[in-house]
Structure 1
Amino acid sequence: MSNPLPRDLWTEILVSLPVKSLLRFQCVCKSWKSLISTPTFISMHTQHSESVHNYTHLLHYNSYRNSKTPYQLLHTDGSFNESQELEYPCQMRCGDHQFVHDCKGLILFTTVNEVGPDDNRFEPLTLWNPAIRMSMTLPRPRINDVPEPKYCIHGFGFDQTSNDYKVLRMFYHNYASSRPTQAELYRLRTGAWETLMVAEDSFQYYFSTKMQAFVNGASHWVVWPMAPGSRKRAVLLFDMFDEEFRVMKLPDHLSLGWGRSIGLGVSGGLLSLMENNNPYGSVNLSYSIWLMKEYGVVESWTKQFTIDLEGWSYGRIFLFRNNEKVLAWNRKNERESEESVLYDPKTHRFIKVGGIKGKGYLLGKNTFVESLVLLDKLNHIQT
């Protein structure tokens, strides 16, 4: 061309394109390939995707399917009729995952035998970017030989200040143990693990679930005290920016609701809470949905609505789309396949959902962002 466009303008144009187009355009010329794979461009593209393509997704794992594509990425159009089959990362054995965390286009797999005194049991952590079909195995952590009994928790998030993904890995013991809690942090930018200093009072708790809720730059978990006789639950958080643990109180109604499970989530960028209103063993289940309207302010927890699961023997619910809908699973007995339904809190009606194949588990429930992250990593593996 006689009057080529300035580089800044080319960058602005390319940043607005979807991932599939950019992967093809790497073959146009060396300068485009070099530009698209730079950390600066990848960061700019992710930020643009967040501001424009902010549709909701669920990552669904089908436990009955034995193939290279046991995952579905479900895009919501109000009915979840659209889905995309995803190939399993080739360096992982299908079904060996224990928990899955997702954040800004990356998915973290932890495995059943992630750590143990016997080196033969060790299974590494894996980061996966389904948009570019690439994954990478994290280096072996520093903390490997942890005496029994132990409890392993993972956190995964993004530090907006340093523009970096971070993986938290921590071990704690029961209250009768004299062993200190251990924690370490992996930073994607440096590609290395670093041991963290942990204050003793940060881990005087049991975790009610290993699944995190990542919001406001921090991973959150529901916990309850280890000390005998104490039943006041709270929220333990790990801030990805200052890399410190803190405890956030819950209102008395939620902190003292012993015998009723609660779980954390994210809705519309706010920390959400799902409270099971029935004691363990009840047949007729109902859940109350709460939102923390002002982050960090205990008094701002506000009940949004309550869902009566209409006599289902088992139910799992997932809040999404700014409280507009709730996705629930219904299983009448152990032999019947699960049914998925949408609950509309405005009409109090349940609608069957299409697009979800077979029986399985929901592994992620955040705003999906197509990203180029891992494209610039030398040790990535193509799926």
Structure 2
Amino acid sequence: MQKRNRLESPPHENHAPSPQSSKRSKKAEPSPLFVKPNFPQEIIVEIFSNLPVGSLLRFRCLSKSCKSFIADPFFIKKHLEKTQNDPKFAKKRVLLYACDPRNSNSFRSCSLNAVYKDPSIDSIEVACPTKEFQGFDRIVGCCNGLICIHSRDTLFLLNPTLGIDKRLPDLGFKRRGAFRTVYGFGYDASVDDYKVVRVFTHQIKGFEYASKSIVRVYSLRTNSWRRIQDLAFGTPDDNTGKYVDGSLNWSAFRRQETGFSWIVVSLDLAQETFKEVLQPCYGDGVSDKSLEVLDGCLCVLCNYVGLYIDVWVMREYGKRESWTKLITIPYLSGPGFELFSSRRPLYVSGSDEILLHIGVKLILYNPKENTFRIPVIDEDHIFYIFQAAIYVESLVSPFVINHH
């Protein structure tokens, strides 16, 4: 007997129904969309996996079978895969932590496609539980549609597309001496788990330049924290780890006889071990460097104050010879660009136009024409942009690890 498609409605009986049963069956009749599901399961998956999340959420109301299908772990992964490989970036959005003209901070999001193409861009507010803390929030990282946010020693995972969030268990630690705490968020594909990492560095009593970095990892699967090996490569300089290819990466300072050197430290999320990432030769005259991610690649920005910024990318993660100088960006000055106080590349379009967060503004730089333009984003709600990140719309939940 042929197995019935999971979305298929039950076969009709051959006998004529009574008037009462006819009324009941009419009430329970499934949506017309699923009355004749004659397509093979593979075709249905293919069609639905190309739809935006908003449409899929509306389809959940059509029938129980449809709701179950959309919540299926295999389908969620398939949909995510299609979204991430979409060359038109129609399902990508820009998350903004911004201040409005009334000096009130909030998270908002807008379409990445609109930022590149529209003269005026609308934004929507992202419901975030950190509002109750009334502090300055920080975007720890974005991964597969999930966003990790830190606010006053409290961490949250949220999916802004689904409108759901989860508060992570508190660690409960005592502040001691000179200290620094940095975080990171990423995905461990080896066990299908999302992980948040906290590196707590404190000064060792009696030693002016000696410090110890204690590392703890949160697993979404177990909903718990545990301690792993200490970080022995130096003192982290980044507030947030950069997620690339199953690893979290921080810039750090390592003490040497002649002073301090700027290094890149990597944590393999599967092995939970640290190593140093080898860098290219940047040349002379670099005043400072910062670690970023661009187009899924590890990226270093070399700042030549008052002149320009060089953008280097590691095309193949872990291979030193794959470092390439991607672009040189001329220096900007004026209100909102104060000494490039914040500089972060966010996205490169198919035409090589690069979206940057510089100072408190988003900027689009066209290297072919050597021109800048400032996208106009919802001036009623966005005055200054403190942080910006790119995320994808997905069905991934901060509560459930989806297994196939």
Q: Same fold (TM over 0.5)?
A: yes
Structure 1 contact 271–292 (Cα < 8 Å) conserved:
yes
The answer to whether structure 1 residue 318 and structure 2 residue 347 are counterparts is no
Alignment of 1:217-228 (within 5 A): 217-227=246-256
Of 362, 369, 373 in structure 1, the residue corresponding to residue 392 of structure 2 is 369
For 1:204 and 1:69, locate their aligned partners in 2 and report how far apart those are by CA, in whole Å.
Answer: 36
Alignment of 1:32-43 (within 5 A): 32-43=66-77
Q: CA deviation at 1:296?
A: 1.8
Q: CA deviation at 1:377?
A: 4.1
* Letter paired with 1:223: A
Give per-residue Cα distances to partners, 1:148-180, cap 9 Å, x unaligned: 322111110112232221111121124737774
Structure 2 contact 166–398 (Cα < 8 Å) conserved:
no
For 1:375 and 1:149, locate their aligned partners in 2 and report how far apart those are by CA, in whole Å.
Answer: 33
Counterpart in 1 of 2:330?
Answer: 308
Of 49, 56, 65 in structure 2, the residue corresponding to residue 15 of structure 1 is 49
Q: CA deviation at 1:63?
A: 2.2
For 1:187 and 1:223, locate their aligned partners in 2 and report how far apart those are by CA, in whole Å.
Answer: 24
The answer to whether structure 1 residue 138 and structure 2 residue 172 are counterparts is no
Structure 1 contact 63–360 (Cα < 8 Å) conserved:
yes
The TM-score with structure 2 as length reference comes to: 0.76
Alignment of 1:229-378 (within 5 A): 229-253=258-282, 260-278=287-305, 284-312=306-334, 313-315=338-340, 316-319=342-345, 320-321=347-348, 324-328=352-356, 340-355=362-377, 357=379, 358-366=382-390, 368-374=391-397, 377=400
* Letter paired with 1:361: I
Structure 2 contact 97–105 (Cα < 8 Å) conserved:
no
Query: Structure 2: which 5+ residue stretches go unaligned?
Result: 1-8, 12-35
Distance 1:356 1:249, change over 3 A: farther
Q: CA deviation at 1:134?
A: 0.9
Distance 1:328 1:39, change over 3 A: closer
Number of positions where the alignment pairs a residue of Structure 1 with one of Structure 2:
350
Structure 1 contact 54–369 (Cα < 8 Å) conserved:
no
Counterpart in 2 of 1:185?
Answer: 217
For 1:47 and 1:306, locate their aligned partners in 2 and report how far apart those are by CA, in whole Å.
Answer: 32
The answer to whether structure 1 residue 71 and structure 2 residue 71 are counterparts is no
Distance 1:53 1:45, change over 3 A: farther
Paired residue secondary structure (1:231): strand
Query: Structure 1: which 5+ residue stretches go unaligned?
Result: 115-123, 279-283, 332-337, 379-383
Q: Which moved more, 1:144-153 or 1:345-354?
A: 144-153
Q: CA deviation at 1:209?
A: 2.3
Structure 1 contact 186–193 (Cα < 8 Å) conserved:
yes
The answer to whether structure 1 residue 196 and structure 2 residue 217 are counterparts is no
Distance 1:221 1:232, change over 3 A: same
Give per-residue Cα distances to partners, 1:66-86, cap 9 Å, x unaligned: 669542334134246444312
* Letter paired with 1:61: Y
Structure 1 contact 75–82 (Cα < 8 Å) conserved:
no
For 2:333 and 2:304, locate their aligned partners in 1 and report how far apart those are by CA, in whole Å.
Answer: 14
Q: Which structure is larger by alpha-carbon Rg, 1 or 2?
A: 2
Structure 1 contact 37–375 (Cα < 8 Å) conserved:
no
Structure 2 contact 97–106 (Cα < 8 Å) conserved:
no
Of 139, 143, 147 in structure 1, the residue corresponding to residue 176 of structure 2 is 147
The answer to whether structure 1 residue 98 and structure 2 residue 121 are counterparts is no
For 1:125 and 1:173, locate their aligned partners in 2 and report how far apart those are by CA, in whole Å.
Answer: 20
Over the aligned positions, Cα root-mean-square deviation in angstroms equals 3.1
For 1:211 and 1:345, locate their aligned partners in 2 and report how far apart those are by CA, in whole Å.
Answer: 28
* Letter paired with 2:387: L
Paired residue secondary structure (1:242): coil
Counterpart in 1 of 2:4?
Answer: none
Q: Which moved more, 1:40-49 or 1:10-19?
A: 10-19
For 1:307 and 1:54, locate their aligned partners in 2 and report how far apart those are by CA, in whole Å.
Answer: 25
Of 10, 24, 27 in structure 1, the residue corresponding to residue 61 of structure 2 is 27
Of 117, 127, 130 in structure 2, the residue corresponding to residue 88 of structure 1 is 127
The answer to whether structure 1 residue 107 and structure 2 residue 147 are counterparts is yes
* Letter paired with 1:161: S
Distance 1:212 1:350, change over 3 A: same
For 1:377 and 1:293, locate their aligned partners in 2 and report how far apart those are by CA, in whole Å.
Answer: 33
For 1:205 and 1:104, locate their aligned partners in 2 and report how far apart those are by CA, in whole Å.
Answer: 30
Q: CA deviation at 1:98?
A: 3.3
Counterpart in 2 of 1:120?
Answer: none
Distance 1:110 1:354, change over 3 A: same
Structure 2 contact 141–242 (Cα < 8 Å) conserved:
no
Give per-residue Cα distances to partners, 1:265-289, cap 9 Å, x unaligned: 22233222111113xxxxx242111
Structure 2 contact 99–105 (Cα < 8 Å) conserved:
no
The TM-score with structure 1 as length reference comes to: 0.79
